[in-house]
Chain A
Amino acid sequence: MAIDSNPNGVPYTLKAKDFATDQDVRWCPGCGDYSILKQVQTVMADLGKQPHETVFVSGIGCSSRFPYYMETYGLHSIHGRAPAFASGLKIANPNLSVWVITGDGDALSIGGNHFMHLLRRNFDLNLLLFNNQIYGLTKGQYSPTSEEHKKTPSTPYGSIDHPVNPIALALGSDATFVARSMDRDPKHLKDMLVRADAHRGTSFLEIYQNCNIFNDGAFEVFTEKDSKPDTTLLLESGQPLVFGKEREKGIYLDGFTPRVVDLAAGGLTKDDLWVHDDTDQLKANILARFFDSPTEGANALPRPFGVFYQTDRPCYEEQVHQQLNATISSLGEGDLDKLLAGGSTWEIK
């Protein structure tokens, strides 16, 4: 167990391994969750987080076992409700660094309601959605993010449900920080974790995570060296949207319609391309719709990774406490005797 500070209260400098617990990690070998755990522990150390001021709150699912492996405070709650536990916790103590860990079923199926309300309220915390497009813990049923026609134990003839688009849902809920990363790109993931932490407000980070047991390769086209350059689009604010092995392709915004253009063809040039601006909510909504299946052909839009959108909006818990303080300054600290007496009283002698 980590002792956070020496007897004089001076924090020790912690390393990634100081954020690991003595519990055996129980994910299947090869599971994408390992890589995420490692990056989170590294980032905790890099950011100089103090274990006692950090809380991991999760729901239920393979991903939601995460808090048991973090040498911080941890609350493994019930399926889908982690956002609500975290909300109460943040009101009770706004100073904590709170990380909500959730899965695609946890956040978007049973917890869909809480997900939306957490984002619109904008508590200052980070929500990491481990999206493996499957229910891992319950052994492989399709999830709300699974592609159509998916054959699983509960859909032997293929699923009928149309999948949810988590980034679009987050933007639709007026989230103030919306980003995507993947388990297989540690550098990018680390970068996104740092930026999520730096943002004041609810930071929503979707992480593509491979479940090698029940949905192996779901994100292969985005993560494997061969295909990745042509199927992914790295978002960097201020930079034109360019991708491709030779960075020979770009995105041109034709009115409201994004089009893939071939820069080598000699028509449009880099200067004509859409330049990413992560404060532009309207365009973030268009980017969120880059949701084509990469196998759809040459004109398929690449899948964006990075920060889609971020903005500043007052945090919920901050306003709760402002309201408390404002009421105390205008009415004075509540007096119990006045409270008990209420409006009109009489005396019996």
Chain B
Amino acid sequence: MTTPIQEKQAVIIKFAGDSGDGMQLTGGLFTDDTAISGSDLATFPDFPAEIRAPVGTIAGVSGFQLHFGSQRIYTPGDRFDVLVAMNAAALKVNIKLVRKGGTVIINEDGFDSKNLRLAKYDESQNPLDDNTLEGFEVIKIPVTKMTREAISESTLGTKEKDRCKNMYVLGFLLWRYNRSMDTTMKFLTSKFKNKPEILDANHKALMAGYHLGDTMEEFNDRYTVKPAQLAPGKYRSIMGNDAIVLGLITATKKLGLPLFYGSYPITPASSILHSLSKYKNYGVRTFQAEDEIAAVASAIGASYGGSLGITGTSGPGLALKGEAIGLAVMLELPLVVIDVQRGGPSTGLPTKTEQSDLMQALYGRNGECPLPVVSCSKPSDCFEAAMEACRIAVQHMTPVILLSDGYIANGAEPWRYPKASDIPEMKVSFAKQQDDGSHFMPYQRDEKLARAWAIPGTPGLVHRVGGIEKEDVTGNISYDPANHEHMVKTRERKVEMIADYIPEQKIESGHESGSLLLLGWGSTFGVCESVTNSLTQLGYSVGHAHLRYLRPFPRNLEELMRRFDKVVIPEINNGQLVKVIRDKYLLPAVPFNKIQGTPIAHEELFDFALNLVDKG
């Protein structure tokens, strides 16, 4: 007997299992299907730091959170409507975040005595039998056993058969949310096109899971989520690091420059190197250097030679690059340095997110060493932020730091992607031999205070550059005291002047003035939006502004902030932007900080902000 399909506005699902259970893939495939079904969505993958932590342990739990719905979705959500727990450890880690009355789908085979012991449940305790699951809808499925049965005829070994159990679970969820198996089948067919045996087993497991729903006596509720009211256009799903890659390639194409990417692998930035290295037919040159210093140095060398040099890393790598970035500030050459931030200091929390490199980006170099800092606010925003970083680097002849973080890097969302022809060309020109045969002055500046880009190979422009202080205009070495002060001020002014070439700060949502401004940067975008919406719906005059430009700030920022009684700055760090804002504007901005390696939850920021506006 089938029950009618029920409509839902939004659903939050958490897929959780052992690192070897394939939960990232399951979540990713379910997300792809969700995106195509027209929902808005946000994701939050959460992996352990160890590649293969001991099977079955708490340390080995890998999770993938998906929030989708027929209205705008801003964050991956605070509490799960549905938890898929492939083993006891996954349940233990996640059960506290399932909302009351939520659904817990359990792989019974992951709860034998060994699994319970590894999950550190007490000798006598089995969460499937005690009151742990009270108040939840519990669907127990012996996934391992059922998967093995479904593919009993396959000649694959048991280990390989068991790898198909994620497809069984995926099949069940596709059925439950009234989807077809088409997208997943297309993926499997292309992934395993040379491994027919594995393809067949995955296919059968998927189907078996799908049909389980039809044959089950209980738990045969099915749900549907209507497409969201997104702006008309063509969409795809995009993850942050991939959007950076597309932004970099698009920018260099529009600039007409070869893209050079020098990098040294580090979580969570590595996938930028992986993706870029696939796009050689777009003229992309990638160079896996021997360390971060060589990575940035090679990028500077490439820029010196007329390519756009780009390097990408995370916090520890940015620390190593500092001296070379300082040289780029002195050389006044274009350079883009991407920092996909993670928990610090030192190795910190390599697979967790944090916004704690802002101070390092702004100030983490020797000497007076100013440079523009641009930040990404969500996965799809990485595209434009990356293009902006490239534009500023080239048009203002300066290194630029682009800040993203682990949450944005690995999160996915629908993206209304642009047509290439709708993106304007960007202007860049190299210096040419002067007709009058006059001496080339490498540090002569234009109206933006940018010097000319004179690349080796150009006749008549031979000159020397380096890190020693140089005389204005001629670029000759100079130890003259007054010249040094002049140059320090000039380099500073050049960066500050970029404010004239970037848009004014706008209010993202909510009120243009009023009692409270949420001023965010980076990956707090979603939570600032949703909290602003909730508070304005309650009648509070709250606005949300989100900074893409962290140096220089947009020229109207101060005026905008002063239109509100209070300014709250939520950050996933111990308070960094808030210090800069207070310092620069002498304005009593209030910090809101969470430093747990996870995004700020809606409830947390909502309660904090509500408390402030209520106090009036």
Contact = CB atoms under 8 A, between A and B. Distances in A.
B487 interface: no
Contacts of B238: 342
B481 interface: no
A51 B461 CA distance: 9
A347 interface: yes
Contact of A71 (B231, B462, B466): B462
Contacts of B234: 341, 345-347
B183 interface: yes
A81 B467 CA distance: 13
A102 B260 CA distance: 25
A152 B48 CA distance: 50
A88 B300 contact: yes
B462 A84 contact: no
Nearest to B439: A1
Nearest to A56: B464
B465 interface: yes
A47 B62 CA distance: 62
Contacts of B462: 1-2, 4, 51-52, 71-73
Could you tell me the dominant secondary structure of chain B's interface residues? mixed
A195 interface: no
B82 interface: no
B36 A91 contact: no
A324 interface: yes
Contacts of B242: 342
Contact of A81 (B231, B283, B324, B461): B324
B281 interface: yes
A344 interface: yes
A44 B132 CA distance: 81
B287 interface: yes
B367 interface: no
A343 B290 CA distance: 33
A55 B464 CA distance: 9
Contacts of A333: 281
Classify chain B's interface size: 35 or more
A334 B280 CA distance: 8
Given A75-B466, A84-B293, A324 B283 contact: yes
Nearest to B461: A52
A81 B281 contact: no
B305 A96 contact: yes
Nearest to B190: A343
A84 B294 contact: yes
Interface in B231-256: 231-238, 242, 246, 249-250, 253
Contacts of B236: 341-346
Interface string A5-16: 100010000000
A247 to B, nearest CB: 44
Nearest to A330: B281
Given A320-B285, A341-B417, A74 B465 contact: yes
A126 interface: no
Interface residues of A, number: 68
A84 B233 contact: no
A332 to B, nearest CB: 7
Contact of A88 (B253, B305, B327): B305
Of listed A21, A74, A336, residue having the most chain B CB within 10 A: A336
Given A81-B297, A348-B232, A52 B456 contact: yes
A34 interface: no
Contacts of A334: 249, 279, 281-283
A151 to B, nearest CB: 31
Contacts of B230: 348
Nearest to A83: B294
A53 B464 CA distance: 13
A3 B460 CA distance: 5
Contact of A68 (B417, B460, B464): B464
Given A84-B289, A86-B301, A114-B294, A328 B260 contact: no
Contacts of B304: 75, 85, 88-89, 92
Nearest to B293: A81
A67 interface: yes
Nearest to B464: A74
A323 B35 CA distance: 35
Of listed A2, A113, A340, A344, residue having the most chain B CB within 10 A: A340
A50 B457 CA distance: 9
Given A77-B467, A324-B285, A346-B38, A92 B297 contact: no
B459 A88 contact: no
B586 interface: no
B35 A53 contact: no
Given A52-B458, A77-B327, A327 B280 contact: yes
A198 interface: no
A7 to B, nearest CB: 9
Contacts of A349: 232
B457 A53 contact: yes
A331 B283 CA distance: 12
Contact of B299 (A51, A73, A83, A88): A88
Contacts of A67: 464, 466
Of listed B230, B260, B285, B440, residue having the most chain A CB within 10 A: B285
B463 interface: yes
Nearest to A110: B293
B290 A323 contact: no
Given A51-B462, A81-B294, A92 B305 contact: yes
Given A77-B297, A81-B297, A346-B235, A88 B464 contact: no
Interface string B104-118: 000000000000000
Interface in B471-522: 476-477
Contacts of A344: 32, 36, 183, 186, 236-237
Contacts of A330: 281
A348 B465 contact: no
Contact of B297 (A54, A85, A331): A85
25 contacts: A1-B439, A3-B460, A4-B459, A4-B462, A5-B459, A23-B477, A68-B464, A68-B477, A70-B464, A81-B297, A85-B298, A88-B297, A91-B260, A91-B302, A92-B303, A93-B457, A114-B290, A116-B290, A117-B290, A323-B280, A324-B280, A337-B419, A342-B242, A344-B36, A347-B233
Given A74-B465, A77-B324, A85-B298, 6 more contacts: A9-B459, A78-B467, A88-B304, A92-B309, A116-B290, A324-B281
